[in-house]
Amino acid sequence: MTAALLEVRGLKTHFPTSSGIARAVDGVSFTLERGEVLGLVGESGSGKSVTGFSLIGLVDEPGRIVDGEIRFEGRDLVGQPTKELRRIRGRDIAMVFQDPMMTLNPVLSIATQMHLALEAHEKIGKEEARQRSIEALARVGIPSPEGRIDSFPHQFSGGMRQRVAIAIALLHRPKLIIADEPTTALDVSIQAQILAEMKALVKEFGMAMIWISHDLATVSSIADRIAVMYAGRIVEAGPVGQVLRSPRHPYTQGLLDSLPTRTSPGEELAQIPGTTPSLINLPSGCAFAPRCARANAECAVIPEEVYEDARRFRCHHPLPERSTP
């Protein structure tokens, strides 16, 4: 068996602040095979986006990766000089962001922005860059790309802008694409379109993808595996069907309970009591314990990871496995 495409081990990304160290990512490990889609799920502030940015070395100042390794095709990216990382960004690992209104430069034409992205990794003439860009735009479903390539971002709708951003991310046919909530800012109907589009593209290119989202519904429809993050750690991970059908960690169960369902309309949704803990003063044991109905004295110690077949979770009192119907 060849090495996995991406292997993250004990990744810790911390942000020193005036009131202490914020442990945004605190010991995250996962592997990703070629062509696999991993859904990274969690609430705001759970560290899922920071994990994504850590992978390409673009953590905001003053944050830094303090420990762990990120092996991409066997090579550790942590501690690589910026120049090396830049060669990987966009070419091997690309990223799509949440808000397409904010990611594209409003004063540069689409053609210019795509040309810059192409130029970043290869010597390319203007005409060729244009041809490649038009092909890329056509691939993500933008109608009559020849006519629209000279337009500016404000002349596109939100969904179309996100398609342009995806086209830019796919220009170099990366091996891994990190999608940081790419559908959150879009209308529901557009969300479904983009989701289907991404699914098809990932398959066509044989790309691996990390789909970062707080939306379990989108994740369940696109991911092969899912990893649930809470306060900087992965609390549960496994094949998407198993995890969602029979969550073992109480937090995952809580997330599922707070989703509206079609079978019980009008009923009040269950909430997880309490709020997400401050990343500066994390409880010393399980971070979820203060909000967890199953917690007891044992939870003052960080639980070891439990492996069961393809799944793993961190909990002293896991929910019993439900037999699948």
Q: Which residues bind another protein (CB under 8 A)?
A: 56, 58, 60, 86-91, 94-95, 97-99, 102-109, 112, 116-117, 119-121, 152, 154-155, 165, 168-169, 171
Closest CA to 70 of 50, 83, 56, 82: 56
16 versus 273: smaller Cβ distance to another protein:
16
Shortest Cβ 122–another protein spacing (Å): 10
103 versus 252: smaller Cβ distance to another protein:
103
183 versus 253: smaller Cβ distance to another protein:
183
**Alpha carbon 287 to chain centroid, angstroms:** 21
103 versus 253: smaller Cβ distance to another protein:
103
Shortest Cβ 171–another protein spacing (Å): 8
Shortest Cβ 94–another protein spacing (Å): 7
Query: Between helices 158-170 and 110-119, what is the axis angle to 10°?
Result: 20
- Strand-pair category, 20-32 with 6-17: antiparallel
Shortest Cβ 154–another protein spacing (Å): 5
Phi, psi dihedral angles at 220 (to 5 degrees): -65, -25
Determine whether 192 is exposed, middle or buried from the number of CB atoms within 10 Å of its CB (0-12, 13-18, 19+): middle
CA dist 282 and 259 (Å) reads 26
Closest CA to 129 of 149, 148, 143, 147: 149
DSSP code of 3? P
115 versus 314: smaller Cβ distance to another protein:
115
Shortest Cβ 134–another protein spacing (Å): 18
106 versus 265: smaller Cβ distance to another protein:
106
Shortest Cβ 206–another protein spacing (Å): 21
89 versus 316: smaller Cβ distance to another protein:
89
CA dist 112 and 242 (Å) reads 45
Whose tokens are 């859904």? That residue is 39
Shortest Cβ 190–another protein spacing (Å): 19
Q: What is the CA radius of gyration of the chain?
A: 21
Closest CA to 318 of 219, 225, 235: 235
